[in-house]
Structures are given as C-alpha cells and as structure tokens.
C-alpha cells in the first residue's frame, strides 16, 4: 500500500495480509476471553492455567504482528530512502540505489552503488500476486 504525504511516499505490508493476521489475532483473543470466562464460572486450577496460556498466546501473536506486519515499511522522503524491517532500519541515499529486484522469500532487494544489497520485507508480496505492480511503482518513483 502506498501512502503519500507531501514529498514522502510510504509502502507498507499489503492490507490483504493484514486482514488475515487480524482474523488470526481475533481468534486468539476470543480463545483467551473464553478461557477466562470458563475460569470465572468454575475456578478450578486447570482453567486458570488454560486462561494464562491463552493470554500468553495473544501477547505472542500481538508481538509477532507488530514486528512482522505493522513495523515494516519503505519510506521515500526527499533524497532519503528508509527501509524499516522487523529487526533493523536502513537509510539509503536515493542516488545510491541503482536497481530494485525480487529477492529471497519474496522480499524486494535494493541494489546499492557500492555493490551491497538491502532487503525490504514490506514489499515481499510473492504470495499475494501483486508484487510486480508494487516493484514497478517503487522503480518509477525512484526513477529506475
């Protein structure tokens, strides 16, 4: 998804993937609520453990969702390209990027003038069937 604000362009993880992640997260929340309601009606020790496990599952899914779906993005602001991946952020000068290609596991690869490559998880849409459109859009904005 591309958002524009002034001179900035931002690409994030595709909304279709966000919807499916939201469905999974919603199911995990319902499981946790159901476990806590079951414990509230019958305060047996085993039900409390089930409720705690369900709550831990919701916390884990929330953390994964934050790292893998909400955080990754590619921002172009002026002459700086910012690639935010789940565990690292890279800042590249626009003129240092010489090509954008498909990469391993669907992530886009930004080839730099110095020969190094930087992967962008946010543009990894191989399974969604829209990756070529997004890469073409990024290439056009970068002037490649």
Residue 62 and residue 22 in one domain: yes
Q: CATH number of the domain that 121 lies in?
A: 2.30.29
pLDDT tens, residue by residue, 27-47: 888 888 988 888 888 887 788
Residue 42 and residue 64 in one domain: yes
Domain count across the chain: 2
Residue 61 and residue 87 in one domain: no
What is the separation of C-alpha 52 from the centre of its chain, rounded to a whole number of angstroms? 27
Model-wide pTM > 0.85: no
Q: Among 31, 54, 70, give the residue marking a domain's end.
A: 70
pLDDT at residue 135, as a whole number: 80
pLDDT at residue 54, as a whole number: 85
Q: What proportion of the chain, given as a percentage, has pLDDT over 90?
A: 15
Residue 56 and residue 19 in one domain: yes
Residue 77 and residue 66 in one domain: no
* Structural domain that includes position 39: 15-70
In angstroms, the CA 119 to CA 109 distance is 4
Residue 35 and residue 92 in one domain: no
Residue 62 and residue 104 in one domain: no
Judge contact between 79 and 129, C-beta under 8 A. Answer: no
In angstroms, the CA 83 to CA 122 distance is 8
């Amino acid at each position: 998804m591309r958002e524009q604000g002034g001179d900035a362009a931002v690409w994030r993880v595709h909304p279709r993937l966000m919807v499916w992640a939201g469905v999974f997260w919603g199911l995990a929340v319902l499981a946790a609520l159901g476990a806590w309601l079951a414990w509230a009606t019958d305060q047996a020790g085993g039900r409390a453990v089930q409720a705690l496990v369900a709550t831990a599952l919701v916390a884990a899914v929330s953390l994964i969702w934050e790292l893998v779906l909400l955080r990754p993005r590619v921002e172009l602001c002026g002459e700086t390209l910012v690639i935010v991946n789940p565990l690292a952020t890279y800042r590249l000068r626009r003129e240092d990027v010489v090509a954008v290609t498909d990469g391993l596991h669907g992530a886009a690869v930004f080839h730099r003038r110095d020969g190094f490559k930087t992967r962008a998880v946010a543009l990894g849409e191989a399974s969604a069937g829209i990756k070529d459109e997004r890469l073409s859009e990024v290439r056009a904005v970068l002037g490649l």
